[in-house]
Amino acid sequence: MEKMRVMFLCTGNACRSQMAEGWAREMAGDLISIKSAGIENHGKNKRAIAAMAEVGIDISQQESIRVNGEMLEWTDLLVTLCDNAEEQCPVISPHTIKLHLPLTDPAKIKGSEEEIVAEFREARAKVKERVEFVISQLDSK
């Protein structure tokens, strides 16, 4: 049986979708094929990389990628992680299932370094919950 192909999509593919890709690789093992992308390409976010490293997940080698038609055609399940990605997502294939699980962008938080790091840790936890939900839904099929 072919693996389910899951793509996580957010605005810039720098924080939320990158974290989701990392969590999914960690938790799903060989259950699914995973990609992440953004409506735009914002590059790597050092705080997202650091937050994931704190829990032993290395996302530093993942690339920030702008979504394209080929990726959307590849995708069986598209998980949008922000309202912008939900609203701006290009047309998807009729065979693709779309799931919207929005999160606040931790990169937009202002404050002290401690407050910003705390926000990235909170985002990491919320992304993990969403990835666990996605995997549980796929596992029950």
Hey, which residues are catalytic here? 10, 82, 89
Instruction: Give the H or E element holding residue 24.
Output: helix 16-28
- Of 47, 22, 45, give the one whose Cα is nearest residue 35: 22
**Phi, psi at 71, each rounded to 5°:** -65, -40
Which residues pair with residue 35 across a beta bridge? 7
Residue pair 16/47 in contact by the 8 Å Cβ criterion? no
- Of 43, 52, 51, give the one whose Cα is nearest residue 25: 52
Two tokens, residue 81: 């992680």
Residue pair 21/1 in contact by the 8 Å Cβ criterion? no
How many Å apart are CA 128 and CA 76, to the nearest integer?
Answer: 20
